[in-house]
Amino acid sequence: MTMSPGEQVVLVSSAEFVLKSSPVRRTLEQRLIDDLRFALRNAHIQNFTIDKAAGRIIVRRVDNAPLAAQVITRVFGVAYAIPAICIVGTMASVLSAVQLRAAESLTLEQSFAIRCHGSATSMISSRDVEKEAGSQILKALADRKIRVNLDHPDIIISVDLTGEIAYVYTTRFPGPGGLPLSSQWKMLGILDSPLSLFAAYVMMRRGCLTQLLIPCSTAGPRFQTDCQIELARKLRQFVTRENYPGFILELDKMPQAISLIRHIGLEFARERRFRGVVFADVRGAIAFDSSINKRSRELGLPVFYPLIGLDETDLNKLGKVLGIDGRDFGDTLVQSTPSIDNSDLSAVPITEVSL
């Protein structure tokens, strides 16, 4: 049997768009496509094209589909990305591609299963593909002592049949899900602890571009300017924008500001026209600081606590995504005060920095 490698593509599935109305879905899909283009070009992947077909976004003309898929999985709005081979949807082509993928993937004594999904317009039967492909693989790779296991296989070889086209793949990379960046409000997060990065990430997964107010101090090694900027840049890899500034709050220039960080954040958010402020509380009554909540109402600027209700397992998962060790979660600079003259906060020095 002649085996053709076919064309490398990446199949991209969006997360929640199917639940939206047609106009909203089209808008979100276009935002996602724009973000995919930025992410791929930023990773120095060039000359690709992006199409839409059968409810999926398809990235074509990529030289290294697995690498492109891993880049795509950092884009908000992506449920998963699949590096696949695109071939003509005939039985001969599909069997050839499946056998080639099996030869590349299966090692000694491993088990496998064929999963074939066909559309109403596909030219061949899904059941026939699974039956014939499985039989040919067992025969071709008999020296490896492989076996079929439909319930818990070591390797799943998937085939998607769509009209005259078929896609063959073995790997699916999960994405962050959620909504495309900037499809919702622009928020200000306050980087007073590593958990603040988690809160910003969660809000960005909901489509809110979240920029960071970054308190810096020589009071402790964790809050040195270089360390804080390095921490903030862990979020940068998920931002599909050319310009993504942070805002440095130099606490040493105004020592009393260390107890007023959240108040300063509210005033700065109002000045820069952010639509809300994000805090990283994970437990306790969220209304513990009455002065914060009072000022939030006065400004008409909502405060969000996206980590409330998350347990240690949830936080560790976010830490893994962002590359932050669970032992580092607890450090914080925030010390809330019951009352403050907000007119004094306009003089606090804040400097913009590129992340």
pTM above 0.75, yes or no: yes
C-beta atoms surrounding 47 within 10 Å: 8
C-beta atoms surrounding 143 within 10 Å: 7
Cα distances (angstroms) measured from residue 241 to each of 96, 211, 323? 41, 12, 21
18 pLDDT above the threshold of 90? no
Among 15-24, 249-258, 318-327, which is the least confidently predicted range?
249-258
Classify residue 330 by burial, with Cβ atoms within 10 Å: 0-12, 13-18, 19+. exposed
Provide the mean pLDDT of the chain: 89
Q: Where along the chain do its domains lie? A: 7-174, 187-354
CATH architecture classification, 7-174: 2-Layer Sandwich (3.30)
Amino acid at 296: S
What would the mean pLDDT of 57-84 be, rounded to a whole number?
97
Confidence of residue 343 (pLDDT cuts 50, 70, 90): low
**pLDDT tens digits for range 133-172:** 999 999 999 999 999 999 999 999 999 998 889 999 999 9
CATH fold match for the domains 7-174 and 187-354: no
What would the mean pLDDT of 7-35 be, rounded to a whole number?
91
Task: List the beta strands (DSSP E) in the chain.
Answer: 7-14, 49-53, 56-60, 78-88, 111-118, 147-148, 155-162, 165-169, 173-174, 187-190, 210-216, 245-250, 276-278, 303-304, 350-354
Residue pair 212/258 in contact by the 8 Å Cβ criterion: no
Q: Would you state the pLDDT for residue 349? A: 83
CATH superfamily, domain 187-354, is HUPs (3.40.50.620)
